[in-house]
Structure 1
Amino acid sequence: MKISALVPAQALLSLANVSTINTTSGQLIGNEADGVRAFTGVRFAQPPVGELRWEPPVPYTSSDIVNATTPGPSCLQMFKYATAKHDMRLFNTPPPPGGENEDCLFLNVWAPTGGKKKKPVVVWIHGGSDAFGSATLAEYDGTSMAKNQDIIVVSMNYRTNVFGFPSAPDLAPDKNNLGQLDQELAFSWVQDNIEHFEGDKHKVTIMGQSAGARAVSDAVSRHTEANPPFRAAIMLSGAVTSTVPTLHFAAFNNFANASGCTQAPGAARLDCLRQIPAATIHNYTNGPLSGTFDPVVDNMTRYDDDLTRIRTNNTARVPILIGSLQDDGTVFTSGVKNLTTALPDLFGANAPSVATVRALYPGLNDSQVIAAAYRDKNFRCPAKLWSEAFVGSGIEYVYRYTYGASFADDAPYPNLGAWHTSELPELFGTYNASTATADEETLSNSFQTAFANFVKNPKVPPAANWPEYGSGTVAKIAYNGNVDLDNFIQPVASGTLDGPCAVWDKLLDFRP
């Protein structure tokens, strides 16, 4: 039975196919169907509006009966004006249910019935360039993973763009990465409540993709060996390496001036900006005058050199599963053909020369070189550096992969290959069943099972033929059409993939 969100919470208790759980967020009433209990739109923080705009999240507690059968709204989305049509087609079609709202700090839980009484838990952090994204996108539905793998899936919204990463001189540095603080509060909620869903708070894995993977790497870096709120981490296409710790305030200052708040940076200007309607701010950030709002180095939620922190044992020392896609760069470089102008545009003033980069990728035309270079610098080489740093510091159970599958029904336009985010419907089991081939269905089961195996026990290989990275081995996933659980892993020496990293590492790992 699908329960309407319009049904009052008290009335839900008398209906069939509902499940109730007592939590710090209230007595949750969710849907139960086909062996999975789903609780969506669970508030874990006070609404970050009014005086709480640009403040760290405040925990929400309640003893009320709560209708947790419909998704909460997503945080306000920002799509850069010049690329909005392209990005929305790739990453926001269809848009998440529940609409958008500044009041957006909700999470979702999918818990299987039966099976083990203390189930492993995976906490999902969505991507979106720290500008957009939502826990309620259809491809992140946790039903398949919960049902087929007997694990609990949790996903959360966190503030993005100017609301979550304002880079504001008006705020103390440790209050600028609000989206990271939202994630931490969600981790705490899981520790406080997951046992009510028959989950094991000592068996939590955090998992993210792209900006979500970078958030996972930040969480690993900022937590020490002593009692992190997770026992393992999964990073799909993303990890923070060395970062220039310069604060950039221009985007926020320009936003304040455009909003008519022309006071000097400080409390008075923040008070003025807190009076601006969220819709007005949303229109600005999605307009042609907006700058970019990114996480800053605050030495609390993000540090300037995660690699050194790993090497000196100043991070959570947990098993990791980390990797990238064969064609992670294609969607970011589509239509870019001029290598001479692309290099400084994509990689900054310290980009290597055209001749150097061409030599890294023999046999490819310039468009293909640009895509491969973007993949390596942003995704493949960071995965290598993290794997090497973890193994070099004595941490066991490091597993690295590269994913090579592509399916025609999953591509928004041709020639993208295994493009950035294309593995997520296979991981979550949310691919289009009406158009999927038998191979896609099989791979989804194999891929999901391997990652769930890591969640269940990160100290054993996730799949057959998948050795630890300590041997310098990378698992090629679903290359050459292999999709079955017993053959979809092809182990290869990391050197067969990482040759170009000798150049890109100089931009990524620039501290001793």
Structure 2
Amino acid sequence: MQPFPFFFFSPFLLFLIPSCSTQSEADFIVQTKSGRVRGFQVTVPDQSRPVVGFLGIPFGEPPVGKRRFRPAEPKRPWQGVYKADSYPNACFQFVDKSYPGFPGIEMWNPNREMSEDCLYLNIWVPSSVKPHNLPVMVWIYGGGFYSGSSSLDVYDGRYLASVENVIVVSMNYRIGAFGFLALDGTSEAPGNVGLLDQRMALQWVQNNIASFGGDPRQVTIFGESAGGASVGYHLLSPGSRPLFTRAILQSGVPNCPWASVTYAEARRRATHLANAVGCNGGNDTELVDCLRGKTPQELIDQEWQVLPWTALFRFSFVPVVDGEVLPDAPEAMVNSGDFKDTQILLGSYGSRKNVNTGAKPLLFKGQEKEPPDLQ
């Protein structure tokens, strides 16, 4: 709409202008269980429905120092109003520098400063006077469990929120050794803490999304590649099942050969990484203490050295069958019917379907339905 051409100016107009606004800054303040957060209005190109964004809301205490490799603790309540108007730090990760400046590579590299203080989530809410009981979609990024960030341009949730009139949530979770280094028998590095980060974010959504106008009974989790495998793990994990309603797995399932390792293999990789960075000898506690004394980049630089030379399409630090988060191997749990019985959408694309979803009949045994021919 073209602005009206005013040909005169009057103090009376100064009085009228503020009253013409339909939403004030106070409308973007939401009370959560942890404290108040302030969002901001986001425009969506080619869409008439604007969106209110809440970027970088903390859901976990920074997993730094002695908390490295351990399950995160929920964010403690804060005073005042938290300004949620910018994307958070990306979790520390491998950065692909093989083709500097090439958009097809750079689009997946972190576009924010990297930090171990990275447990934050983002929310996009369709802008209306009072949204109420809207469906919620929670995105879990992929990246082989070694890379990824909720701040990537391709994960901007404003478009989905505006077009489909749903609340969109995305979260960061620890990846690489920081999220998946595992030594069985020790609470200092039990493994799967990246999955527990995701679960903590899902619990935060259950506790708080109603305050944003969302319906905690209509939460769909969805992810691609390692994110799809993560969605599958939450379908299998007893502690995660109550925290969502439906699931979408895109180009990744938990029984992919690259998506998990045994505790024995996880220990071998952890020990190999320790040796590579100069943490030799001692018991598990001493090994973990030594690894905590290394800079994040020192660990990242050696991550790929832990893979067996025969490994093909494998990633260094991934989820482990720990008997708790993942009680048994995915195949065994599916065969015994031990998973969340709910509506599931599964998809793959092009050349990835054989590598990533070849185990589809196993994951959904008895539930398979061929998709319609859309050609």
Superposed pair shares fold, TM > 0.5 = yes
CA distance 1:165–1:85, change in 2 (3 Å): farther
8 Å CA contact retained: 2:110, 2:152: yes
Give, in whole Å, the separation in 1 of the partners of 2:226 and 2:143: 6
Alignment partner, residue 32 of structure 1: 41
Give, in whole Å, the separation in 2 of the partners of 1:254 and 1:157: 27
Deviation at 1:314, TM superposition (A): 1.7
Deviation at 1:272, TM superposition (A): 2.2
Alignment partner, residue 298 of structure 2: 280
2:145 aligns with one of 130, 141, 165: 130
Alignment partner, residue 316 of structure 1: 340
Give, in whole Å, the separation in 1 of the partners of 2:121 and 2:217: 20
2:247 aligns with one of 204, 220, 233: 233
1:66 and 2:82 aligned: yes
Task: Report the more deviating stretch, 244-253 or 183-192.
Answer: 244-253
Give, in whole Å, the separation in 1 of the partners of 2:177 and 2:35: 30
Give, in whole Å, the separation in 2 of the partners of 1:309 and 1:265: 33
What does 1:194-233 align with in structure 2 at a 5 Å threshold?
A: 194-223=209-238, 228-233=242-247
Deviation at 1:304, TM superposition (A): 4.3
Alignment partner, residue 287 of structure 2: 269
8 Å CA contact retained: 1:77, 1:132: yes
Cα offsets for 1:406-441 (capped at 9, x unmatched): xxxxxxxxxxxxxxxxxxxxxxxxxxxxxxxxxxxx
CA distance 1:170–1:317, change in 2 (3 Å): closer
What does 1:143-162 align with in structure 2 at a 5 Å threshold?
A: 143-162=158-177
1:295 aligns with one of 305, 319, 325: 319
Alignment partner, residue 275 of structure 2: 257
What does 1:324-363 align with in structure 2 at a 5 Å threshold?
A: 324-328=348-352
What TM-score does the superposition give when structure 1 sets the normalisation length? 0.60
1:474 and 2:359 aligned: no
8 Å CA contact retained: 2:182, 2:190: no
Give, in whole Å, the separation in 1 of the partners of 2:87 and 2:245: 28
Alignment partner, residue 341 of structure 1: none
Larger proportion of helix: 1
Deviation at 1:62, TM superposition (A): 1.7
Alignment partner, residue 125 of structure 2: 111
8 Å CA contact retained: 1:167, 1:247: no
Give, in whole Å, the separation in 1 of the partners of 2:289 and 2:340: 38
Q: Which has the higher contact order (CA 8 A, sep 6+)?
A: 2
Give, in whole Å, the separation in 1 of the partners of 2:371 and 2:317: 34
2:91 aligns with one of 75, 81, 98: 75
Alignment partner, residue 245 of structure 1: 262
Q: Aligned with 2:125: secondary structure?
A: strand
Alignment partner, residue 100 of structure 1: 114
Tell me the percent identity.
31
1:383 aligns with one of 352, 360, 374: 360
Give, in whole Å, the separation in 2 of the partners of 1:21 and 1:91: 37
What TM-score does the superposition give when structure 2 sets the normalisation length? 0.80
8 Å CA contact retained: 2:182, 2:189: no
- Consecutive unaligned residues of structure 2, counting only runs of 5 or more, are 1-23, 44-49, 308-315
Alignment partner, residue 14 of structure 2: none
Task: Give the residue type in structure 1 aligned to 2:37.
Answer: L
Q: Aligned with 1:228: secondary structure?
A: helix
Task: Report the more deviating stretch, 275-284 or 198-207.
Answer: 275-284
Deviation at 1:24, TM superposition (A): 2.8
Deviation at 1:75, TM superposition (A): 0.5
8 Å CA contact retained: 1:73, 1:101: yes
8 Å CA contact retained: 1:121, 1:200: yes
Q: Aligned with 1:21: secondary structure?
A: strand
CA distance 1:475–1:116, change in 2 (3 Å): farther
CA distance 1:293–1:94, change in 2 (3 Å): closer
Cα offsets for 1:286-313 (capped at 9, x unmatched): xx74542222111222354434423433
8 Å CA contact retained: 1:17, 1:33: no
8 Å CA contact retained: 1:38, 1:109: yes
Deviation at 1:91, TM superposition (A): 5.2
Task: Give the residue type in structure 2 aligned to 1:228.
Answer: P
8 Å CA contact retained: 2:70, 2:189: no
Give, in whole Å, the separation in 2 of the partners of 1:52 and 1:212: 24
Deviation at 1:33, TM superposition (A): 3.1
What does 1:416-455 align with in structure 2 at a 5 Å threshold?
A: none
8 Å CA contact retained: 1:191, 1:201: yes
Deviation at 1:263, TM superposition (A): 3.1
Task: Give the residue type in structure 2 aligned to 1:77.
Answer: Q
Deviation at 1:283, TM superposition (A): 3.5
8 Å CA contact retained: 1:205, 1:232: yes
Deviation at 1:245, TM superposition (A): 3.5
Task: Give the residue type in structure 2 aligned to 1:111.
Answer: V
Deviation at 1:111, TM superposition (A): 0.8
Deviation at 1:31, TM superposition (A): 1.1
Task: Give the residue type in structure 2 aligned to 1:280.
Answer: E
CA distance 1:98–1:79, change in 2 (3 Å): closer
Q: Aligned with 1:108: secondary structure?
A: strand
Q: Aligned with 1:183: secondary structure?
A: helix
8 Å CA contact retained: 1:207, 1:235: yes
8 Å CA contact retained: 2:58, 2:75: yes
Give, in whole Å, the separation in 2 of the partners of 1:303 and 1:92: 37
8 Å CA contact retained: 1:247, 1:296: no
